[in-house]
Amino acid sequence: MRRRSRRPRSHWPRWLLLLFALGATALVLWPSQDFNPHKVAIDVPHADLRVLALLDSIASANPEVSLNLLRFGAMLQGDFVVPAGYYEIAPSDPWWRSLHRLRMGYETPRRLVVRAYQGRGSLVSHLASVMHPSPSEFDEALFQGDSCVPLLPNTYEVYASLKPHEFAERMGREFDAFWNANRMESATALKLTRYEATILASIVQAESKEPAEWSRIAGVYLSRLRKGMRLEADPTVVFAVLDRKLAPEPIRRVTGSMLRLEHPYNTYRSKGLPPGPLATVHPPVIDSVLSARPKGELFFCANPSKPGFHLFAKTYAEHLAYRKRYLSFIAK
């Protein structure tokens, strides 16, 4: 019986296969930064920058950052254009994942803190420091003429490339979510729209920093509105003067010439509420306005015996007596 000849099988040594597998794994998992423990922030304001030039600018600005493998991968992928946005390269991220995010425009969210009592100018400047559009572009999107999109103080996550109109729409949705059925019912009971309640709250928060007084001050203004009286709220005069750039901040005393200023926000000249909020409004102030129960009080004046608080009056004669006490106090 004839024995078949067996052809020798060629195979890679196991140690060589293992070495190859370890090398491939290391290549895939190699971090985006070579031996740098810190995140690298990449801000791309315009979508006209190619990835190699971007990586070179990062390396020149941060000598301790080494992005050799990331750069090699970018060369293999054809030196693509990076979409506008804000990105962070973490030390632990594999190089191919960081490169994929830059190629596809997968931005890192940024933290936007909207504080209460922020006026128009400081607000749009703050937005432009977090996102790419300019303050004037945000101003145009948020402030339509004399009205505005109310921004509720909170901490938000936003993308740097967000367009101003997209941001305005997002803030509109936040405002809608805040105004639940209970708040809408309370505003209706006071014969206010939700926008009017927000405007009134912006005046109240400018008048007093004391939560115990917010509802009572709101009650005074509601009583004046119902009687057809002008609100004669000093914060609206301050807003008008600053809007016209007639005096530097801060304005500590409202003068007679300021009271006579023709401006849609000056409630010494115009009846009713001003066209929009004076600033971003702290949500608890809105809730205090909604819980207000007018008691017929029409005036209030700073209380010299209790700084930060006010004396309330139902008659003008009573108010003048309180005002005289206050003027005597500050004249000392």
Together in a domain, 196 and 291? yes
Together in a domain, 273 and 197? yes
Contact 50, 98 (CB under 8 A): no
What's the confidence (pLDDT) of residue 9? 53
Listed residues 124, 158, 178: the one ending a domain: 178
Beta-strand ranges (E) seen in the chain are: 40-44, 49-50, 81-82, 85-89, 110-114, 143-144, 147-148, 154-158, 299-302, 310-313
What's the confidence (pLDDT) of residue 143? 85
Together in a domain, 88 and 139? no
Instruction: Look at the pTM and tell me if it is higher than 0.75.
Output: yes
What's the confidence (pLDDT) of residue 135? 95
Is 157 among the domain residues?
yes
Cβ within 8 Å of residue 277, ≥6 positions away: 148, 150, 198, 199, 201, 202
Together in a domain, 290 and 194? yes
Together in a domain, 172 and 195? no
> In the 8-state DSSP scheme, what is residue 135?
H
Q: How many domains does the chain have?
A: 3
- Block mean pLDDT (10 aa), the chain, length 332: 53 56 47 61 89 87 76 84 91 82 93 93 95 94 74 96 94 95 97 96 96 98 97 96 91 91 95 93 97 96 93 96 91 78
What's the confidence (pLDDT) of residue 97? 84
What's the confidence (pLDDT) of residue 132? 96
Is 172 among the domain residues?
yes
Is 10 among the domain residues?
no
Together in a domain, 149 and 217? no
CATH of the domain at 166: 3.30.1490
Together in a domain, 45 and 80? yes
Give me the domain span that covers residue 133.
110-178
3-state secondary structure at position 158 = strand
What's the confidence (pLDDT) of residue 14? 61
